[in-house]
Amino acid sequence: MKELPPSFAHPFGTDSYSRDVFSRVVYGARLSLMIGVLATVVTLTFGVAYGAIAGYAGGITDTIMMRILDAFLAIPRLLLLVAILAAWPRLSIGALILFLGLTGWFGLSRIVRGQVLALKHAEFVTAARALGASRRRILWRHLLPNLISPIVVAATLGVAHVIVLEAGLSFLGIGVPQPGASWGNIIRDGSDQVAALWWMSLFPGLMMVLTVMTLNVLGETLRDTYDRGS
């Protein structure tokens, strides 16, 4: 039956289409986490590559790349995503992941660039250069392995940020399309009757808050561990 409150049969109740909210929240967790992780992989790929190349190249190349990055950073990410997704309202999940990833690497690239600038004149890099190692090998085999800690921290916090961002877009109706279930559009299903159908928004909201808090605490713990180690 539709719009049943929480019970033993339906712990999170049912929605207006007689769907079990608990099942949708569980499925939404899988989808939201998948989008968060895959979008962050895209972000890491572009952010690490761009920042490492800019930092190691230096000179005019670094200057031009950083000015381009400043132009990207001047555009609010949420505003850019809303404009893109409003123009193409029926994007697939893959396209949504791609857009979320391609709009999130700007800050990470600055972090990577700063780390590369700090390390590229280190003794182990100078020794590798003296032994005839190519620039690509130095960057790949000597510099990037030393950036694992800040990249892991950025990735953990990035997944949490993407989950919230995707939920917000889905709540606005321009993220995961119906009838697909993500935490954002499950909350949206009950948003027009919060007082009467409170369970439809409460439980997916709680799951999202707990997941994001856990990822943020994990990211902060990793950051503190990295800072103490350095």
User: Residue 77 domain-assigned?
Assistant: yes
The per-residue pLDDT for 63 is 92
User: Residue 224 domain-assigned?
Assistant: yes
State yes or no: pLDDT of 90 exceeds 90.
no
The domain that holds 165 is classified in CATH as 1.10.3720.10
User: For residue 91, what are the CA distances in angstroms to 20, 163, 177?
Assistant: 26, 17, 8
pLDDT in tens, 181-220: 888 888 888 877 877 888 888 899 999 999 999 998 988 8
CA 147 from centre of chain:
19
User: Residue 11 domain-assigned?
Assistant: no
Cα gap 44→163, rounded to integer Å = 16
Domain count for the chain: 1
User: Residue 6 domain-assigned?
Assistant: no
User: Residue 12 domain-assigned?
Assistant: no
- Band (145; pLDDT cuts 50, 70, 90): confident
- The contacts of residue 166 (CB under 8 Å, 6+ apart) are 32, 35, 36, 39, 96, 100, 175, 176, 182, 184
State yes or no: pLDDT of 139 exceeds 70.
yes
- Percent of the chain whose predicted confidence (pLDDT) is above 90: 27
CA neighbours within 13 Å on the CB side: how many for 23? 8
pLDDT in tens, 110-123: 989 988 888 888 88
User: Residue 201 domain-assigned?
Assistant: yes
State yes or no: pLDDT of 230 exceeds 70.
no
3-state percent breakdown (helix, strand, coil) of the chain, nearest 5: 75, 0, 25
User: Residue 9 domain-assigned?
Assistant: no
Per-residue burial over 38-76, b if 16 or more Cβ lie within 10 Å, else e, is: bbbebbbebbbebbbbbbbbeeeebeebbeebeeeeeee
User: Quick one: tokens of 146?
Assistant: 């030393």
User: Residue 3 domain-assigned?
Assistant: no
The per-residue pLDDT for 115 is 87
- Band (109; pLDDT cuts 50, 70, 90): very high
**Residue 155 CB coordination number (10 Å):** 19
The per-residue pLDDT for 130 is 85
- Domain of 95 in residue numbering reads as 21-229
